[in-house]
Amino acid sequence: MSVLIFVELDNGAIKKSSLEAVFYGSEVAKAQGTSATVLAIGASSDSELSKAGNFGAKKVLHANDSKLDQANIQAYASVLSAAVEKESASVIVLAKSSLGDAVAARVAGKLKASIVSNITELPDLSSGFKVKRSIYTGKAFAVVEMLSDKKILAIKKNAVSPVETADSAQIEVFTPEVSEADFTVKITGTHKASGTVSLPEADIVVSAGRGLKGPENWGIVEDLAKALGAATACSKPVSDLDWRPHHEHVGQTGIKVSPNLYIACGISGAIQHLAGVNSSKVIVVINKDPEAPFFKAADYGIVGDVFDVLPKLTKAIEASK
């Protein structure tokens, strides 16, 4: 009974969060004395897919039907279910994401599998199969015992630190039968967020709020993000005012992020915003109001005007390179 890992592709490249899932799944396979196989759906090159071997996978199943180039959730669920049956997989691993959540839920229904999301550690196999997951927007943890024969694990971003090796994976063409019924929902267009760094995949996020006073001042935020190789984000009021695009809104009703470093500039720290960012490993808050609620959640805080602090911080980072 092998471990199967579903990876997501972005313009043919395996997403960073999916490579984390590959490493996680490979470690689970190692602990169970079995092998790890990856499933990739959509157009990609063998050289790119072989990267899965660097993170512990022994084989990559590549489903490259042109009908699967767009992320059709029902079709992806059918392909993943077929791969599970082909590999006789008992554990299915994937990165937690909007696509991963939707696909995993459908596969769980098809295979009568148990599913646990937001997993933060490798499973405890000493007595059964127990996993630790983040709950209450990262404020607490729960340990869940999975009892079903098939188990689906959705891994939280940055939950594991992958170790890369020089190993390679065998690439195998996978051509499961996909029913036309899986394509009753048609994707007529896809609009992707622009930007150098994808916000959900970013290791560093520089975010700003109404303390920037207007969209014309966002250059200092973008300069800092560029110096750090970071993604930019904003609070809900900023996106509501159309100062920044809505795809940059992070918070309870926006994108939830868990980068290694989150820098909040001129954001007061309302509970709705904190709910979307408190899984960040390190939070730095820059605000001229020493009573700003965000300081209570911060690992580091700078009491100062963002218009003074950000240019100096950017200059210091560029000088250190």
Annotated binding site for FAD: 210, 266-273, 287
CA 60 to chain centre: 21
| 265 within 8 A of 208, measured Cβ to Cβ | yes
> Hey, how many other C-beta atoms are within 10 angstroms of the C-beta on 210?
15
Cα-based distances in Å from 220 to 127, 223, 309, 310: 53, 5, 10, 6
Which residues are annotated binding-site positions? 210, 266-273, 287
Give me the residue label for tokens 């043919």.
12
Interatomic CA distance for residues 152 and 90, integer angstroms: 9
- Which amino acid appears at position 169 of this protein? A
Phi-psi label, residue 128: left if phi above 0, alpha if psi -120 to 50, beta otherwise = left
Lookup result for tokens 């963002």: 306
Q: Is 228 exposed, middle or buried (0-12, 13-18, 19+ CB in 10 A)?
A: buried
Quickly list DSSP for 112-173: T-EEEEEE-S--B-TTS-EEEEEETTTTEEEEEE--SSSEEEEEPTTSS-----S---EEEE
CB atoms within 10 A of CB 36: 30
Q: Contact at 8 Å (CB) between 121 and 20? A: no
User: Which of 39, 278, 237, 269 has its CA nearest to residue 138?
Assistant: 278
Alpha helices (runs of H) in 141-288, residue ranges in sequence order: 219-228, 236-240, 271-277
- State which H helix or E strand residue 110 sits in: helix 98-111
